[in-house]
């Protein structure tokens, strides 16, 4: 299976490493508007075909899928080009700037009969997957409450300086992941209430957000995110989870310790492996990149719909939009309104 990648920036290096690790997959073309970055990436990964224009790359063809590793403003035109070229698509998050754009991309891929998956990798982290398996097994009964927490003082701006420039920050960049995790555990939500705050004076967007979700199945959850939290030891980039069920409780704690208290109690280490090309503390996220990309390829091979398909991600993106609306207007927002 041959692929192309658009966007050779900071995070795309993880995606290229992961593609290279996978049997039966080869990235044959790269595209980036920055010549220097494009050449460096091509040299690092021994990829001979390079383009600064995506339309030219699609016209040349010769690949089965495209990995769009750019920022949200470029996603709709690139997904549209990919659908018109008849290739499958994996697209970086946030999927779109607006729900209208997201729906248009889902429609374009569907009309072309091609798979569209969003690179929503946090739920694919092995500690998260281990916790999901416990809940799915019924070990804690029916979940009725969850807390999903990501709090850190890690400097994410040194590697991705553009994060400090947008009027939206933590919900759009990080909270979107944690909201997706909440959906993976407790199902879709039908309303949300959110508050936000900017603590760091050197950024334009919010760096603290607290969200209360009511899920369609009756459970409630708290999703709290912060890049203004100073703690020792630093827990970046871990998502801490607590799920209360009718038969017990699950806790995924700092240091990747998974504890289940219920009919059968257990505590075990679910720390992710450090891949040869990975480095701490990013190894948790880096491993999930390999896992989600393998899921994408497996779905293509088997004709299955990916767990984080474009259509599925509409629900996560709607939560992001509803959270910002709630924070701005100081009210609970129904997802039906969107």
Return d(Cα 15, Cα 19) in angstroms, integer: 6
Which SS3 state, helix, strand or coil, does residue 126 take? Answer: helix
- Summarize the confidence of residues 147-167 as an average pLDDT: 93
| Residue 187: predicted pLDDT | 98
pLDDT digits (tens, 9 = 90+) for 224-261: 999 999 988 899 999 999 999 999 999 999 999 999 99
Going along the chain from its start, the domains and CATH numbers come out as 2-114 (3.40.50.720), 123-276+310-337 (3.30.360.10)
Between the alpha carbon of residue 21 and those of residues 172, 259, 288, the distances in Å are 29, 32, 13
CB 42 within 8 A of CB 48: yes
Token couple for 75: 């996603």
The proportion of the chain whose per-residue pLDDT surpasses 70, expressed as a percent, equals: 100
pLDDT digits (tens, 9 = 90+) for 203-222: 999 999 999 999 999 999 99
Q: Is the peptide bond before 137 cis (omega within 30 degrees of 0)?
A: no
| Residue 34: predicted pLDDT | 96
pLDDT at 16 over 90: yes
Confidence of residue 86 (pLDDT cuts 50, 70, 90): very high
**Which residue bears the tokens 């979940």?**
143
Sign of CA dihedral 116, 122, 127, 129: negative
CB 243 within 8 A of CB 140: yes
Which SS3 state, helix, strand or coil, does residue 39 take? Answer: helix
What DSSP element (H or E) covers 55?
A: helix 54-60
pLDDT digits (tens, 9 = 90+) for 283-331: 999 999 999 999 999 999 999 999 999 999 999 999 999 999 999 999 9
Neighbours of 133 (CB within 10 A): 10
Spatial strand order in the sheet of 248-253? 266-269, 257-262, 248-253, 240-245, 143-151, 220-226, 208-215, 189-197, 333-334
| Residue 159: predicted pLDDT | 85
| Residue 185: predicted pLDDT | 98
Which SS3 state, helix, strand or coil, does residue 321 take? Answer: helix
pLDDT digits (tens, 9 = 90+) for 95-144: 999 999 999 999 999 999 999 999 999 999 999 999 999 999 999 999 99
Return d(Cα 237, Cα 60) in angstroms, integer: 39
| Residue 160: predicted pLDDT | 86
Return d(Cα 122, Cα 174) in angstroms, integer: 10
Residue 120: DSSP 8-state: -
Smallest Cα–Cα separation from 90: which of 56, 114, 113, 126? 114
pLDDT at 11 over 90: yes
| Residue 201: predicted pLDDT | 96
Token couple for 109: 């891929």
Token couple for 38: 């494009």
Strand ranges for 109-230 from DSSP E: 116-119, 143-151, 189-197, 208-215, 220-226
| Residue 76: predicted pLDDT | 98
Q: Across-strand partners of 267?
A: 259
Confidence of residue 264 (pLDDT cuts 50, 70, 90): confident
Return d(Cα 157, Cα 163) in angstroms, integer: 6
Confidence of residue 92 (pLDDT cuts 50, 70, 90): very high
What is the pLDDT of the chain when averaged over all its residues?
Answer: 97
Q: What are phi and psi of 109, to 5 degrees?
A: -65, -40
| Residue 3: predicted pLDDT | 98
Q: What are phi and psi of 235, to 5 degrees?
A: -100, 0
């Amino acid at each position: 299976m041959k692929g192309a990648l658009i966007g050779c920036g900071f995070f795309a290096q993880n995606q290229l490493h992961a593609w290279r690790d996978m049997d039966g997959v080869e990235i044959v073309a790269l595209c980036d508007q920055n010549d220097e970055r494009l050449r460096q990436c091509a040299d690092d990964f021994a990829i001979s075909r390079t383009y600064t224009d995506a339309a030219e790359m699609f016209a040349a063809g010769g690949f089965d899928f495209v990995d769009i590793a750019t920022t949200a403003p470029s996603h709709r035109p690139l997904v549209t080009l990919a659908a018109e070229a008849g290739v499958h698509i994996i697209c970086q998050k946030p999927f779109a700037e607006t729900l209208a754009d997201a729906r248009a991309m889902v429609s374009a891929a569907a009309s072309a009969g091609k798979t569209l998956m969003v690179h929503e990798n946090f739920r694919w982290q092995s500690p998260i997957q281990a916790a999901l398996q416990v809940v799915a097994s019924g070990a804690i009964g029916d979940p009725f409450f969850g807390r999903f927490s990501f709090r850190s003082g890690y400097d994410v701006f040194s590697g991705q300086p553009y994060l400090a420039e947008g009027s939206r920050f933590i919900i759009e960049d990080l909270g979107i992941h944690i909201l997706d995790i909440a959906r993976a555990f407790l199902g879709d939500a039908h309303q949300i209430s959110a508050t936000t705050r900017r603590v760091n004076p050197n950024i334009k967007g919010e760096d603290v957000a607290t969200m209360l979700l009511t899920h369609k199945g009756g459970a409630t959850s708290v999703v709290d995110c912060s890049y203004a939290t100073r703690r020792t030891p630093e827990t970046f980039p871990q998502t801490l989870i607590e799920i209360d069920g009718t038969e017990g409780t699950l806790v995924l704690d700092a240091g990747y310790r998974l504890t289940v208290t219920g009919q059968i109690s257990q505590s075990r280490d679910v720390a992710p492996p450090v891949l040869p090309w990975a480095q701490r503390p990013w190894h948790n996220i880096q491993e999930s990149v390999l896992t989600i990309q393998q899921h994408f390829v497996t779905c293509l091979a088997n004709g299955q719909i990916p767990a984080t398909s474009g259509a599925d991600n509409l629900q996560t993106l709607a939560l992001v939009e509803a959270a910002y609306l709630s924070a701005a207007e100081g009210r609970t927002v129904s997802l039906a309104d969107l």
